[in-house]
């Protein structure tokens, strides 16, 4: 089991700094590449840039708590929580498809709805 982790590509845990404008101030955030990739995915899903997402998260934390201490750690936890939610959602989708199969209904497969929309459009 440890080989899954010990053989990780070093690029994934290499740190990279990035300049971000937060509350009208340019600051530098240093995160491992894997976290930057996760933030980019989360931003894309929300239809914003990574920098916009980070600024929005900062504003929301500050509005809720009155401060945003240890913000880089907050971003790492955000990434972990995002991955956990994706994992749970994937399990829920699998379970629903299994239930549909057991009920004799056609399961919804990833990408299927897109193919059906394309077929109808033709």
Q: What is the DSSP string of 61-75?
A: HHHHHS--TTHHHHH
Give per-residue pLDDT as tens, 68-92.
999 999 999 999 999 999 888 878 7
pTM for the full predicted model:
0.72
Alpha carbon 86 to its chain's center:
8
Model confidence pLDDT, tens digit, residues 5-48? 888 888 888 999 999 999 899 999 999 999 999 999 999 999 99
CB atoms near residue 33 (< 10 Å):
15
Sign of the four-CA dihedral 47, 53, 55, 56: positive
């Amino acid at each position: 089991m440890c080989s899954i982790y010990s053989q990780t590509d070093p690029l994934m845990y290499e740190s990279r700094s990035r300049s971000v404008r937060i509350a009208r101030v340019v600051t530098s955030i240093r995160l491992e590449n894997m976290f930057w990739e996760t933030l980019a995915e989360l931003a894309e899903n929300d239809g914003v840039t990574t920098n916009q997402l980070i600024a929005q998260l900062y504003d929301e934390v500050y509005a809720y708590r009155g401060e945003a201490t240890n913000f880089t750690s907050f971003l790492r936890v955000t990434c972990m929580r995002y991955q956990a939610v994706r994992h749970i959602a994937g399990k829920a989708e699998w379970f629903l498809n299994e239930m549909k199969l057991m009920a004799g209904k056609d399961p919804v497969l990833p990408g299927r709805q897109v193919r059906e929309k394309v077929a109808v459009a033709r």
